[in-house]
Amino acid sequence: EDKVVQSPLSLVVHEGDTVTLNCSYEVTNFRSLLWYKQEKKAPTFLFMLTSSGIEKKSGRLSSILDKKELFSILNITATQTGDSAVYLCAVFYSGAGSYQLTFGKGTKLSVIP
């Protein structure tokens, strides 16, 4: 079963729109949640979240974690065509004597002019 579920799977918006991407998880011994942006090649790191309710911001992007409801959102305001990418959410959790890292399937964002 999927431990990390992202929604929507795909999203098409116009430049200037604001989008919210969702990531829910179901793991025991949660450690941290990470967001990545993947364009044509390797993922690039956006945020790491470990505490509930503390918003992390970087320019037009922001993210927050809710450890009680087991989800995180990634907001992008005033979207630009350069924001077009797949956004990946990943969760670190402890299990079987070590820790594991599981990724969601990603949300494909397309920003059209």
Between CA 71 and CA 30 the distance in angstroms is 12
Specify the residue, 98 or 113, whose C-beta has the smaller distance to other proteins: 98
Residues 90-109, interacting with other proteins (CB under 8 A):
90, 92, 98-106
Specify the residue, 20 or 44, whose C-beta has the smaller distance to other proteins: 44
Measured from the CB of residue 102, what is the shortest distance to other proteins in angstroms?
7
CA-wise closest residue to 40 among 7, 81, 86: 86
> Which residues, listed in sequence order, are joined to residue 11 by a DSSP beta bridge?
109
Asked if 36 contacts 88 with a C-beta cutoff of 8 angstroms, the reply is yes
Between CA 74 and CA 57 the distance in angstroms is 10
Measured from the CB of residue 100, what is the shortest distance to other proteins in angstroms?
6
Residues 22-51, interacting with other proteins (CB under 8 A):
31-32, 34, 41-45, 48, 50
Measured from the CB of residue 44, what is the shortest distance to other proteins in angstroms?
7
* Look-up of token digits 């790491």: 48
The C-alpha R_g of the chain, in whole angstroms, comes to 14
Specify the residue, 71 or 103, whose C-beta has the smaller distance to other proteins: 103
The site for other proteins (CB under 8 A) is made up of 31-32, 34, 41-45, 48, 50, 88, 90, 92, 98-106
